[in-house]
Amino acid sequence: MPSEKNKEKVILEAAASLFTSKGYQATRMEDVAKEAGISKGLTYFYFKNKEDLYLALTRRAFDQFKEVFKEVIRKKGQSGLDQVCDLFTSVSSFAKANQVYFDSIVDFLDLLKKYNDPSKRDSIHPRILESEQFQKLLETHHDPAKLGIRMISQGIKDGSIRPELQPEITFYAIWSMMIGYEKLRGPIGYEEKEIKINDENWEKGYLKLIKDMLKGTVQASKPVTVQGSLF
């Protein structure tokens, strides 16, 4: 008989599959139970409602996302800059292979904007705020970022990244670029013929831009002062 943890895993995998194929709004808890081969009552035993289930899936997404960061750090012989560039391609691969998980991470970051604004917190569904999963996410969602900041700090220490950069600000700037990159993948693909860009050359150019920014090779050209006479 499957253990409690295995049952949770089966339910979460079923939810991920349905959220991917049908979308979150169109998926019902009974659909998840049927997909998982578990009774509806047992599904509700593990997850109080669909909001609670989605947040549990989001926690799983953050756990897997954290592993992406750890895998990069575990590689031997890489400079901090190498790690950041490796992270970029690893995050992109993660998003392609686990789109519903990556989307849930971005959704949670959007949710935090409302949660941190007292004037907007009331717009969050009460079931989300009451969920134990939400409270745990508040405590752990920043774990991947801590590892990313560590990579930047390593780069500053080993000389591969400009020493004047502030690690926290720098990582969050790169992180925002990674999110933007994934969100724009669709428009880039659609507009490929119009703007002369495709996924392959965009990724290479994007990676080069990150390298240049962190190494300090992007420099504004100074205007040349020309002295002369009007006559």
- 83 and 151 in contact (C-beta within 8 Å)? yes
The CA distance from 164 to 20, in Å, is 43
Same domain, 130 and 209: yes
Same domain, 20 and 64: no
Which pLDDT value is given to residue 102? Answer: 96
CATH code of residue 163: 1.10.357.10
Same domain, 17 and 115: no
Q: Is residue 152 in a domain?
A: yes
Q: In 33-138, which ranges are E strands?
A: none
Same domain, 176 and 109: yes
Q: Is residue 207 in a domain?
A: yes
Q: pLDDT tens for the chain, 231 residues: list them.
A: 455 668 999 999 999 999 999 999 999 999 999 999 999 999 999 999 999 999 999 999 999 999 999 999 999 999 999 999 999 999 999 999 999 999 999 999 999 999 999 999 999 999 999 999 999 999 999 999 999 999 999 999 999 999 999 999 999 999 999 999 888 877 776 665 566 777 778 888 889 999 999 998 644 344 444 444 433
Query: 80 is in which domain, residue-wise?
Result: 54-215
Identify which of 129, 149, 139, 107 has the alpha carbon closest to the alpha carbon of residue 49. 129
Which pLDDT value is given to residue 212? Answer: 93
Q: Is residue 58 in a domain?
A: yes
Same domain, 129 and 111: yes
The CA distance from 155 to 169, in Å, is 14
When divided into structural domains, the chain yields a total of 2
Same domain, 36 and 133: no
Same domain, 75 and 106: yes
Which pLDDT value is given to residue 219? Answer: 46
CATH code of residue 30: 1.10.10.60
Same domain, 119 and 176: yes
Same domain, 127 and 167: yes
Same domain, 76 and 171: yes
Same domain, 103 and 171: yes
